[in-house]
Structure 1
Amino acid sequence: MRRLLGLLLFLWGCLLAVNTTFPLVAEVGGDPVTAVAATGRDCSAPFGAPPWAGIHRHCDATWTHGSQRQQGRLVGAGVEQSLTAPTGADAYVIPGMKGYAFLAPTGAEQVAGIAGPIVALLGLSLLFARRRRHRRRAHGGSHHSHGDSDSDPADYDSDDSGDSGGDSDGGGGGGGGGDGGGGDGGGGD
C-alpha cells in the first residue's frame, strides 16, 4: 500500500511539475517573448482539470527569441484567448528547451509549481524507502536492562562477581615482565 501511494504521489508531482513548475521556472529565469498564433494554428483540448488534475491546453505559435524566429507550442491557462489578442501573448521561454513557450502562471499555479517537486520527492521517498520492522524479543517482549541494574538474572555473569581467585590483583597469572628481582640472573662471577 505504501509503494502504491508513493507511486501515485510521484506521478501527481510530475503532473504538477509539467503544468506549473516549468511555467514558474520560465517566468522566474526564462527569457520573455511575445508569441503570436501560427498560420493554421492547431490547439489541443485540455485534459482533466488543470493545473491540479490535468494537462493545460497548448497551441501552435511563433515567437522571436534573440534574433531567431521560432515555432513551437505555447502552453498555459487561457492560451487560445491570449493568442487572439492583437498584440500577441506575453510568454516566457526556458533557454535550452526548444519548441516550448509558457504563459505566466496564476497565483494558484505558482503554489502548485512550488508544491510539485516536493510532492514528487515525497512520492519517491515512499516508493523506495526501506520498511522499518519492529522485532519482538525472544523472551516474550519483556524489557531488557541496559546496565542500569543487576536485577535481571539473564545478565548475571559469574566472572563479574568478586571472586577470591588469583587474578583479582590485576597482575595476571604467571611471571609477568619487568625486573622482578631475585632469581639467578645467570651472569655472576
Structure 2
Amino acid sequence: MTNSNPLSRGRNLATKTYYELFPETLKAGPPPAGTFHVDSRALRGEFLQLQAVSHPDRHAASAKGAAEAESAQINEAYSVLQNSLARAQYLLSLKGINVTADDMATPEPELLMEVMEVMEEIDETDSQDDLEKLRSVNSHKIKRSEDILEQAFGRDDWEDARRETIRLKYWTNIKNRINDLEYSGNAGEPRKCEDI
C-alpha cells in the first residue's frame, strides 16, 4: 500500500463514499462498477492499515481532532462494509432509498408469514441440534439473498435490491435470534414480538 492515510492524500472524507475509503480492497467502487460481495479478509487488512496511520495517538495535538474524525469515519465505513445487510442498506441510501424506515421496509405478506413460522419453530425448539438445523436453513437464505443482491446491484435494479434487502433484514433477525438462544442456552424460551 503506498500512502494509506486518506487525509494525507488530500481527501475530504465527508464527500467520499465508504467504498472510496478502502481504495485497495474496493478498487472498482460500489456496484454496478464494483461488486456487492466484499473480500472480508482484505477489507479487514486495509482497515487495520488505515487505522494504524490515522489513529489520533499518532498525531500532534493540533491534528488530533481531524485524526479522531477520520478514525471514526473509517470505523463506521468498515462496520457497514463488512456486514452484508448494512452494506445493502448503505448502497440503497446512496440512491435516496431508505429501507430502515418502517414505511419503506414493509415486507410482502408471504415473507412475513414465513418469518413468523420460522420464529415459532425457533421458540418451540428444545435442542441444539434442532437449532442448528434452523441455522443451516437460514444461512442458505442469507447466502441466496446476498447473491440476489449481487445481481440486482450489478444491473442497477434498485427496486429488486430494495425488496431483497428487506428479505435479508428478516433472515438476519432470525440469525440473531438463533445466536441469542444458542449463546444463552435457552432454546425454546419464549421471545417477545418485537424480536421479529
Give TM class, smaller chain.
under 0.3
Q: Higher strand share goes to which structure? A: 1
Tell me which protein shows more helix as a share of its residues: 2
Taking structure 2 as the reference length, what is the TM-score of the superposition? Answer: 0.21
